[in-house]
Chains A and B, each alone.
Chain A
Amino acid sequence: MKIPSARLGDVEIDERDIIVIPDGVIGFPDFTRFVELLFLEGAPLRLLQSLEARELAFFVIDPLLFMPDYKVSVSSADLAAVQAETSEGLRILTIVTIPEDPYDMTANLQGPLVVNPATRLATQVVNHDKNYTTKQRILPNSQTAPATT
């Protein structure tokens, strides 16, 4: 099927790739159907595009790519939300905020998305670990911008 995306134009997707977030992303309860799109070849970011609003999309990233020891404790309520028996096999994605200078992009480690690949259900959970913030830098602080020619 074809879906419209404000960012990418019309995109052909496989219906089997649809991710349902029954409660929506926190603050956006009315939007429950998403698809994860590759938007930039070679970039670790993906675009989580709403199927219900072409304007609504979130950049997401696997937090383990920049914080290998990142942990989320998934409650039984969270497990129930994605219809999983255990937390094994669940995918974690974090939502990325991209400011004016994209190099300063940050990931929200306090509100990760937990995705059950088996049921294609996801939920945004609250990570109570105080070591994590909603604005974790993804790229190193020193502006060693990659060579651009």
Chain B
Amino acid sequence: MLVLTRKLGESVTIGDNIKISVIDIKGRQVRLGIEAPPEMTIHREEIYARIQEENQRAAMMKSVNMEKLARIFPGGGPEKEAGK
């Protein structure tokens, strides 16, 4: 990993069109400003990791009790009574 030291107001650039600036530093928190092309997706790592974990949990459906599940929706559930 490349490690750089930056002061408040300074930036790093990545390639031709990504720029990351240090906007503010307060105690243990750093505010970053990111300029990047709109087609690039940027998100906080922990949110991404949380979604990935939840996807993995959701995919483990072998353990799902289908009979119990069917009893929760006896022909309707929260959805409007569908025409049967």
Contact = CB atoms under 8 A, between A and B. Distances in A.
Contact of B56 (A27, A43, A76, A146): A27
Contacts of A25: 55
A77 B38 contact: yes
Contact of A26 (B51, B68, B73, B75): B51
A139 B54 CA distance: 18
A58 B59 CA distance: 6
A145 B10 CA distance: 58
Interface residues of B, number: 37
A128 B47 contact: yes
Contacts of B54: 95, 97, 108, 110-111, 134-135
A28 to B, nearest CB: 7
B33 interface: no
Contact of B51 (A6, A111, A146): A111
The 6 closest A-B pairs by CB, nearest first: A111-B51, A42-B75, A43-B73, A27-B52, A44-B79, A134-B54
Interface of B: 38-41, 43-44, 47-48, 50-59, 61-65, 68-79, 82, 84
